[in-house]
Amino acid sequence: MIDEDTGIILNALYQVVKEHSNHSDKTKKTIKYLIKFLVKIGVLFKNNAFNDSEMLIFTKLKNKYKTMVLTVISFYEVKYTYDQKILSKYVVSVFDLLRQLLRRHMSPKNIERVELVQTTLSDGDLLDSIFDYENVTPITQHLPIICDRVRSLIDDDKL
């Protein structure tokens, strides 16, 4: 379900969140939940478990996610174009669609976990630290890895 590129992206994302928060347990939970959601979507999609309205949400989610990651790549490639509000809105809207998609298939507790991941990944301070164009930090060093692997997924039509 999770290919090599996705694994590398998740590992880099783990490192970013860990460096930013200094809370290893929270970081592990965040990435664990994110992986759980990705696998759940993959299994449900593969088994045709989504109804027609959920398939519409799935399509919206996929398109919104792709737009979000292309925006991240653009912010990375074109220096000083980063806009926290735009990126944060994309993250929130992706996770809103994720909640809608998984509502029927997961427990309320797991849906609450979507909120935890969303809150972590849409945090303005985290996003600002990732796109710190002025300083090379352990956090900013992961952005090229994430962008290169996402670009690879797009080029291979896996996203």
The model's pTM is 0.90
Tokens (6 digits) for 12:
């880099």
- Per the CB < 8 A criterion, the answer to whether 86 and 71 are in contact is yes
**pLDDT in the model for residue 10:** 94
Mean pLDDT, the chain, as a whole number?
A: 94
Q: Does the structure show a pLDDT above 90 at 58?
A: yes
Q: Using one digit for the tens of pLDDT, what is the confidence trace for 71-95?
A: 999 999 999 999 999 999 999 999 9
- Mind listing the pLDDT tens digit for each residue in 105-119? 999 999 999 999 999
Q: CA 33 to CA 31: how far, in whole Å?
A: 5
Q: Which residues contact 95 (CB under 8 A, 6 or more apart)?
A: 114, 115, 117, 118, 121, 122
Percentage of the chain modeled with pLDDT above 90: 90
